[in-house]
Structure 1
Amino acid sequence: MFNALSRVRAMLRALSPRKPLTRAQAIAIALAACSPVLAVAAQAFAQTSPAVASAPAPTFASDRLSVVVTGAGPDVILIPGFASSRAVWTATAVRLSATHRVHQVQLAGFAGEPWTHGDGPFVQPVIDALAAYVQQAGLQSPAIIGHSMGGLSAIMLAQQYPDRVGRVMSVDSLPFYSALFGPQVTVEMARPFAAQAAASILTASAPDFLNSQTATAVGMARDPATRTAMVDWSLASDRQAMAAAIRDVMLTDVRPGLATMTVPVWAPYAADADGGAPAALADGLWSREYAALPGVRLIRVDGSRHFIMADQPKRFAEIVDEFLRQP
């Protein structure tokens, strides 16, 4: 298995041969692309969190996602990221269920959930299924909180179905994932690399796949137990689903629609001076990529890697509570 940072350097040189990769860029990009796939994650304490009584679940059938409902009160939908289980939100759901009705989404193909769609599109059908769920469940302006790919999905839902979304929190997620490779990158420029990433998922041997996921977990979370859970969920995911998802994520650019959005958006993002993305680099990247979105609230969370809810649970809980208190 080739070195992850070398792979990132090679990709960036191909996209912009006259601009050498700086150390800061290498660190930030390696966090997001240090394996052929995005990382998956869970909080270390997810399996030991106290149980919460399930609320009556709205009748909803979909081969794209399933939903578990707990608590009562204003509606909050929690969307996990790439190859993650809904259990990544366990601690958040347990806490919020005391005051809110919490809808924990599980995407098909991830973390053991069945996948029946081959190499077909992944992200847009999820958006349509989420919109159908909101409508069929009769939810009124629910708050949507999504992590990574889930954050991208939340923004897409708000852009395409603004009447079904109250507010959005996009956790450590950019409106164009491939902007990580440089400000000059377009969807067309990213296309061969998306194809390469998808192919790498499908063709990797079992040992290589395990090794890549294990290495990626180190860059995505600080806590060893969380890293273990990340790898377990990745190995339980359907590789065709993962390949379809990474291809879609790398080729989805929602920045053109930011300027006309009316749904409030918060975007917490991670910075970590100890092996993660430097604060100045993270600030510049998030400010640049969300510049067109009116009223966006950008919140840097220090001492965290990609999975903020696991690395900084107290700070993340404070941000979520403030987000939900807004009128």
Structure 2
Amino acid sequence: MFNAFFKARPRLRAALFGLAVCTPSLMVGVTAAFAQPGAQASAFVSDRLSVEVVGAGPDVILIPGFGCSREVWRTTADRLKATHRVHLVQLAGFAGEAWSHGDGPFVQPVVEELDRYIRSQGLERPAVIGHSMGALAGLVLAQQHPEAVGRLMSVDSLPFFGALRGPQVTVEAMRPAAEQTAQTLLALSDESFRAAQVGSAQGMTRDAALRVRLVDWTTGSDRKAMAAAMRDVLLTDARPGLANLSVPVTALYASDADGGAPAAQADQAWGHEYATLPGVKLIRVDGSRHFIMADQPQRFAELVDQFLAD
């Protein structure tokens, strides 16, 4: 997708495609049906995100990544709903969800909206599982509103995606590249954009069916939302807050000797970027590209079960 940006680190560029992560103000025109214990499905809709709720039991919030649909979590939700109440988040602007915020901030508004959702629903320290950009939003949520999150699972995500260009990179150093990347997203023709998504999807997952769905989701997303999200994520650095974070964090990361990140390189990147987080559980999942839940479904299910049981 952004080969020019990642040409210095082609083995890790896949981590940005699925950046998976939508104003703290009261919403106008909200429609909502709030889930009760035992309910099979419910819905919450705002101009920043919507939430589908299935199952009954302890609460688990699932946040998808950059350009993705909540359907990326469907297999996980279907498996967990017998024992948990699962909240499937869909971020505004992605995969056909309406967007009305131009090129304004993305990450902080979604963090505040997630916190508002948790409080409005009376959820008591739910488990949060986020993929890529969604995990970054979950990490910021846990830092800013630690009372709202019981535990966090980060799936193939970093606290600062700019670190993919090197551990010495700062937010200010990333700013020109972030602006250029956002403008490139907006300038591409529909045909060029789709071709870029097709090419990028090959490196994101081993699952051929998911590759097709990824292209459909991103080409069905609002380009302004994608540009805003990409700029915001590249300029979000959650590392300074790691040392004081009290919420337990499990960070899964992918390694694939055939077309993905080599184990040694992945170990170095994730170990370095999470080094200041007390008690973090770093777990490498081999034989997987960016979408661990699709590439290693059985292993992922085992790790989710362990995470929820801890």
TM-score after normalising by structure 2? 0.91
The aligned residue for residue 265 of structure 1 is 249
1:100-139 equivalences under 5 Å are: 100-139=84-123
| Matched residue SS, 2:62 | strand
Task: Go from structure 1 to structure 2 and tell me whether the alpha carbon gap of 1:7 and 1:65 turns closer, same or farther (over 3 Å shift).
Answer: closer
Q: 1:322 aligns with which of 298, 306, 309?
A: 306
Offset of residue 275 of structure 1: 1.1
The answer (yes or no) to whether the contact 2:19–2:132 under 8 Å persists in 1 is no
Letter of the structure 2 residue corresponding to residue 126 of structure 1: V
Which residues in structure 2 correspond to 1:49-128 (within 5 Å)?
55=40, 57=42, 60-128=44-112
Partners in 2 of 1:71 and 1:4 — Cα distance? 38
Q: In structure 1, what is the equivalent of residue 195 of structure 2?
A: 211
Q: Is the 8 A contact 2:5 2:177 kept in 1?
A: no
Secondary structure of 2:185's match? helix
- Out of 172, 176, 179, the position equivalent to 1:192 is 176
In the TM superposition, what is the alpha-carbon distance from 1:111 to its structure 2 partner? 0.3
User: Displacement of 1:8 after TM fit?
Assistant: 2.9
Letter in 2 for 1:263: V
Deviation at 1:306, TM superposition (A): 0.3
Aligned residue identity for 2:6:
V
Amino acid at match of 2:162: S
- 3-state SS of the aligned residue for 2:11? helix
The answer to whether the aligner puts 1:31 opposite 2:14 as a matched pair is yes
Q: CA deviation at 1:276?
A: 0.7
Percent identity of equivalent pairs: 62
**Cα deviation code 1:16-54 (max 9, x no counterpart):** xxxxxxxxx4322x3246xxxx2489xxxxxxxxxxx96
User: What is the total number of aligned residue pairs between the two structures?
Assistant: 293
CA gap 1:61/1:215 in 2 versus in 1, 3 angstroms: closer
Given the superposition, is the C-alpha separation of residues 90 and 70 from structure 1 closer, same or farther in structure 2, using an over 3 Å criterion? same
More helix by share: 1
TM-score by length of 1: 0.86
Corresponding position: 1:237 with 2:221: yes
- Matching residue of 1:45: none
Unaligned regions of 5+ residues in structure 1, if any? 13-24, 42-52
AA aligned opposite 1:233:
W
Q: Which one of the candidate residues 170, 177, 180 is aligned to 2:161? A: 177
Alignment root-mean-square deviation, CA:
1.7
Gap change, CA 1:57 and 1:198, over 3 Å in 2: same
